[in-house]
Amino acid sequence: MDLIGWVIFIVALLVSVMLHETGHFVVAKKFGMKVTRFFVGFGPTIWSTWRGETEYGIKALPFGGFCKIVGMHSLDDPDDPADEPRSFRNKPAWQRIAVLSAGSAMHFLLALVLLFGLALGVGVEHYNTQVGTLSPCLPVSLTAYNNGSCAGSHQASPAKLAGLRLGDVVTAINGRPVSNFNQLTDDVRPLPSGTPLTIIVRRDGKLVTLHAKVASVKGLGSYLGVAPSGFVFQVPSPLSAIGYSGSTFGQVLVGSAQAIGQLPGGLHDLFNKKERANSAAGQVTSIYGAAQITGAELAANVGWQYKVSFVVLLIASLNIFFGAFNLLPLLPLDGGHIAVVLYERIRAWLARLRGRPDPGLVDMAKLLPVSFGLFMVLVIFSLVLIAADIVNPVSLTGG
């Protein structure tokens, strides 16, 4: 199963990379740019064929792919001068930006499709409503609640007073059916302290009606005193699946930004077992680490729904991360090239205001040292992540 996990992850990664290049390819063709090559992999060519003006092929090293668009920058002259009108650099700025953005757009689109398909095909993972933990007391503070402590408490929890038992499955709160723990929490949290609750549970195959009063914990809010025993997968409506896709996309995007923002100051966390498990920066992993995690999860003794959900969420998350990272205004990333195009247009606008001619394209030769330097930083950073994933793998259990 470890090997299968690796294969699934590598295939998914190659598909993601090729979709990225397909985005550039399709949009460039749409705007009449000349694309001369579209290849899977790098290194020596194994196989290729010509279709029209484009050579399609496979190379020996399956580490990505590329498409060659004529005149991508000032250093790239077309082999045939007649192709210059169709070169990338001769197209309007908005078309060039669209081509450069299309790769990340494909990552984002793939992630949304995966999330939508996961919701409708497997279901959305929720905590179930079976009582797995029953608090014997009403915590005296948020700290006591977080620590699971009854110290200083002289009052039983509402759940305990109501007669709830471990294994009970909550089916309704105040007449409203509940099918997952989030619904239960949503029903209880807004209620003021002392509000009566009618709780219907399934116990030993029979429905039992219990009565409780909501209590309050300072810093937490309304409190019942139960926690779920595990997870349940529920298939939402298509409209709800769209909402799930969008909200999950946003959460992953924000989480990725926070982790990357903390990473420069938290590199040492990568090699510290305790800190890596408990910090956002420590949860950043390499391609090697992600493949290892995929293999480990597929080999775990859990249900197929959890395995499929984990793999799909991981691939979707990586695509969101790659898409966003690629838009950073740093060369040689697409975002860096977008920044160059925007700079050219701003410079041309300022020149017009002064009655001067358009300065034209940026001399990319002057930016090569910057581009190469940032490229080497990315390579070194990738190697550091791989080393961390070998000597101190990411913990999926938080410790």
Query: In the predicted model, is pLDDT for residue 282 greater than 60?
Result: no
Judge whether 233 and 125 are in contact, CB under 8 Å.
yes
| Residue-level pLDDT at 209 | 95
* pLDDT of res. 397: 46
Q: Is residue 219 part of a domain?
A: yes
Residue 170 belongs to a domain: yes
Among 96-105, 246-255, 266-275, 318-327, the least confident range = 266-275
Residue 83 lies in a domain: no
**Arithmetic mean of pLDDT over the chain:** 86
**pLDDT computed for residue 341 by the predictor:** 94
Catalytic residues: 21
Per-residue pLDDT, 396: 53
Kindly state whether residue 176 falls inside one of the protein's structural domains: yes
Instruction: Quote the pLDDT of residue 109.
Output: 96
Is 52 within the bounds of a domain?
Answer: no
Domain membership of residue 290 (yes or no) is no
Average pLDDT of 244-273? 79
Q: What is the pTM of this model?
A: 0.78
Average pLDDT (277-305) is 73
Domain that holds residue 163: 127-234
Average pLDDT over residues 74-84: 75
- Please tell me the total count of domains within the chain: 1
Q: What CATH number did the domain enclosing 150 receive?
A: 2.30.42.10
Domain membership flag for residue 39: no
84 vs 105, more confident: 105
On whether residue 141 sits in a domain, the answer given is yes
Provide long-range contacts, Cβ within 8 A and 24+ apart, for 227-230. Answer: 227/131, 227/132, 227/133, 227/135, 228/127, 228/128, 228/129, 228/130, 228/131, 228/132, 228/133, 228/181, 229/128, 229/130, 229/131, 229/132, 229/133, 229/167, 230/127, 230/128, 230/130, 230/132
- pLDDT, mean of residues 290-307: 79
